[in-house]
Amino acid sequence: MNMPLPRPIRLAALAALLAAPAARAVSLDDAVRAALENSPTLQAAESRIDSAQAMLRQAKSYYFPSVGLAANYAVSDNPPQAFMMTLNQRSLNMMDPAFNPNEPDGTDNLRGSVTAQWRLFDLPRDAGKNMARFGAAASAEAFAAARNQLVHEVTRGFYGVLQARAFAAVQEKAVQSIEESLRIARERFAAGGAVKTDVLNLETQLAQANEELIKARNGAQLALAALNAAIGNDLVTADNIEAPGQAALDAPPPECKDPEAFENRPEMRAARLMRRVKEQDLKKARGGYAPTVSAFGSLDADSGNGRDFEDSYMAGVMAEINIFDGARTRAAVQAARAELEAAQADEEKARLHLRLDLQQAFLGTKEAWERLEVTRKSLETAEEARRIVQEQYQQGAADIAILLQTQVGVTAMQTRHAAAQYDYLTALSNLKRAKGELAD
* pLDDT over threshold 90, residue 246: no
pLDDT at site 12: 56
When pLDDT is averaged across residues 93-98 and rounded to a whole number, the result is 80
State the Cα–Cα distance between residues 436 and 431, nearest whole angstrom. Answer: 9
104, pLDDT greater than 90:
no
Helix axes 266-286, 123-190, angle to 10 degrees: 160
Three-class SS state of 119? strand
What mean pLDDT comes out for the span 144-151?
93
- Judge whether residue 5 has pLDDT over 60: no
- Give the model's confidence band at 22: pLDDT under 50 very low, under 70 low, under 90 confident, else very high: very low
What integer pLDDT is reported at residue 6 of this predicted model? Answer: 56
- What's the whole-number mean pLDDT along residues 369-375? 94
Q: Is the pLDDT of residue 11 over 70?
A: no
Q: What is the pLDDT of residues 250-278, one digit of tens each?
A: 889 988 888 888 998 999 999 999 999 99
Q: What tens digit of pLDDT does each residue of 221-231 get? A: 999 999 999 99
Lowest-confidence pick of 201-215, 371-385, 392-406: 392-406
Binned at pLDDT 50, 70 and 90, residue 21 comes out as very low
Q: What is the pLDDT of residues 377-392, one digit of tens each?
A: 999 999 999 899 888 8
Distance (Å, rounded) from C-alpha 3 to C-alpha 5?
7
Q: How far apart are CA 237 and CA 239, in angstroms?
A: 5
More confident residue, 98 or 169: 169
- For the stretch 156-188, pLDDT in tens is 999 999 999 999 999 999 899 889 888 888 988
CA–CA dist 215, 432 (Å, integer): 32
Nearest to 289, CA basis, from 327, 318, 317: 327
pLDDT in tens, 123-136: 888 999 999 999 99
Return the top range by mean pLDDT from 1-15, 333-347, 403-417: 333-347
- The helix or strand, by DSSP H or E, that contains position 146, with its residue range, turns out to be helix 123-190
181: nearest Cα among 208, 199, 204? 199
Q: What pLDDT does 19 receive?
A: 52
Mean pLDDT of 398-404: 81
Q: Which domains does the chain have, with CATH numbers?
A: 7-67+122-291+326-439 (1.20.1600.10)
DSSP letters of 317-380?
EEEE----STTHHHHHHHHHHHHHHHHHHHHHHHHHHHHHHHHHHHHHHHHHHHHHHHHHHHHH
- Which residue in 121, 205, 214, 221 sits closest to 164, CA to CA? 221
Longest CA span, the chain = 148
Contacts of 53 (CB under 8 A, 6+ apart): 136
For residue 298, give the nearest of 116, 120, 119, 89 by alpha carbon.
116
Does residue 20 carry a pLDDT above 70? no
pLDDT value at residue 3: 46
- State the Cα–Cα distance between residues 179 and 174, nearest whole angstrom: 8
DSSP 256-321: ---TTGGGGSHHHHHHHHHHHHHHHHHHHHHGGGS-EEEEEEEEEEEE-TTPPPEEEEEEEEEEE-
Residue 414 and residue 230: Cα distance in Å, rounded? 28
Higher pLDDT, 1 or 406: 406
Residue 9 is predicted with a pLDDT of 55
**Per-residue model confidence as pLDDT tens digits over 47-92:** 989 999 998 898 888 889 999 999 999 999 888 888 888 888 888 8
Question: Could you tell me the pLDDT band of residue 15, with boundaries at 50, 70 and 90?
Answer: low
Tally of CB atoms within 10 A around 63:
12
Dist. CA 31–CA 160, nearest whole Å = 13
Residues, the chain: 440
Rounded CA separation 434/174 (Å): 38
The 8-class DSSP code of residue 439 comes to G
Mean pLDDT, the chain, rounded, equals: 88
Q: Which run of H or of E encompasses 419?
A: helix 400-435
